[in-house]
Amino acid sequence: MSEVMLEVDNLTRNFVKKLDLAGRLAQKLGADIREESVHAVDGVSLTIAKKGVVGLVGESGCGKSTLGRMIAGILPPTSGRIVYKGISLTDMNFEEAKRAALEIQMIFQDPFASLNPRMRVVDIIGEAPVAHGFCKPSEINKYVSDVMQRVGLDPEYRRRYPHQFSGGQRQRIGIARALAVKPEFLVCDEAIAALDVSIQAQVINLFMDLREDLDLTYLFISHDLSVVEHISDQVVIMYLGRIVEVAPTAELFEKPNHPYTQALLNEVPRVDQRGRDYQPVEGEIPSPLDPPSGCHFHPRCPHATSRCKAERPVLREIAPGRISACHLNDGT
């Protein structure tokens, strides 16, 4: 494997809903109330190679956005380490931490909420480069025009406000804002989910062009397997805060190992399987407030045994470059 860009080691994030005064009183008086804690991300380890494109897939609520936000430095992890270019984010001095924060940028899902509605495009894109000394305040127009051209926006529009653009154009503004601080690693959190299908293709192509031109590394968070198949080298499948399978894209789509992956892949509509009956994954995703024991997937798994209810399966290498967390792999 080539040079490692980012390594995530046993990363965990809990969200705790603290009891208020009334709740604590009720608890003292014997009511059956306790602090509610959600393991949004539960001991995730992951390695992302330089210039790689990793697709992170899972149902909504499985913690993929939380993982992305921790990597982008927006949310602090509860425990675990994020190692960027060989140094843990927590061990960095101020200058290194700032550089790492700028080199890891995030593209957000909702292009309507992710742009400050009261700033003009030139300020949205140009604020951070000026603040961090990438360009002089007097050269902001030229700098922003260059970045806008790179993402396919007409620099003539730089004096406009975000609400004067369409969804696809806004997403391009969001991308331009991230590119303006010369990042090396982009976390795309459902970056195309809110766009029309025709625009999705344009934005995906833009991501791929940028990867060629700027040697970017991507963590591409999505629930859309067909998009992930199209762009990523490696796919990570998450279920209820845990990674269940990691594999190179082609191998994963050819021969999925984990029952959850198999169920997900069955849901992707394909031209060559037209007319096939559609078998959705049975049941709902369980509440992360009260996750199932053992393997989180066992209540919905067609192959579940008593062992799956009791014991949490560990991620184990099943083939070179492929890991999966399923007890079924032990038997055969």
Partner 1 sequence: MSEISEIAIAEPLKVETPLHRFMSDFADNKIALVAFFVLLGIIFIAIFAPVISPTDPYDLAKVSIFDSKLAPGTKSMDEVTFWLGTDTSGRDLLSSIFYGLRISLGVGVLSGVIALCIGSAIGLMAAYYGGYVDTLIMRIVDIQLSFPAILVALILISVLGKGVDKIIIALVLVQWAYYARTVRGTALVERNKEYIEAASCLALSNNRIVFRHLLPNCLPPLIVVATVQTAHAISLEATLSFLGVGLPVTEPSLGLLIANGFNVMLSGLYWVSFFPGIALLITIVSINLVGDQLRDVLNPRLQK
Report the interface residues with partner 1, using CB under 8 A: 69, 72-74, 98, 101-102, 105-106, 108-110, 113-119, 127-128, 131-132, 149, 152-154, 156-157, 160-161, 163-166, 168-169, 174, 177, 181, 199, 202
Nearer to partner 1, 118 or 274 (CB): 118
Under a CB-based contact definition with an 8 Å cutoff, are residues 256 and 239 in contact?
A: no
Minimum Å gap between C-beta 2 and partner 1 is 26
Nearer to partner 1, 169 or 249 (CB): 169
Which DSSP state fits 90? G
Minimum Å gap between C-beta 261 and partner 1 is 30
Minimum Å gap between C-beta 123 and partner 1 is 9
Burial label, 71 (beta-carbon count in 10 A; 0-12, 13-18, 19+): buried
Nearer to partner 1, 82 or 240 (CB): 82
Minimum Å gap between C-beta 129 and partner 1 is 9
Measured CA distances, 148 to 33, 56, 111, 175, 204 (Å): 53, 28, 16, 9, 17
Under a CB-based contact definition with an 8 Å cutoff, are residues 148 and 206 in contact?
A: no
Nearer to partner 1, 58 or 68 (CB): 68
Please tell me whether residue 81 adopts helix, strand or coil conformation. strand
Minimum Å gap between C-beta 118 and partner 1 is 4
Nearer to partner 1, 109 or 261 (CB): 109
Which DSSP state fits 114? S
Task: Report angle CA 233, 235, 236 to the nearest 5 degrees.
Answer: 145
Nearer to partner 1, 101 or 244 (CB): 101
Distance CA 323, CA 252 (A): 11
Measured CA distances, 156 to 85, 95, 106, 123, 306 (Å): 38, 35, 25, 14, 64
The CA radius of gyration of the chain, in Å to the nearest whole number, is 22
Nearer to partner 1, 146 or 251 (CB): 146
Task: Report angle CA 112, 39, 114 to the nearest 5 degrees.
Answer: 10
Minimum Å gap between C-beta 115 and partner 1 is 6
Minimum Å gap between C-beta 3 and partner 1 is 24
Nearer to partner 1, 119 or 208 (CB): 119
Task: Report angle CA 95, 97, 101 to the nearest 5 degrees.
Answer: 120
Minimum Å gap between C-beta 321 and partner 1 is 31
Distance CA 329, CA 332 (A): 6
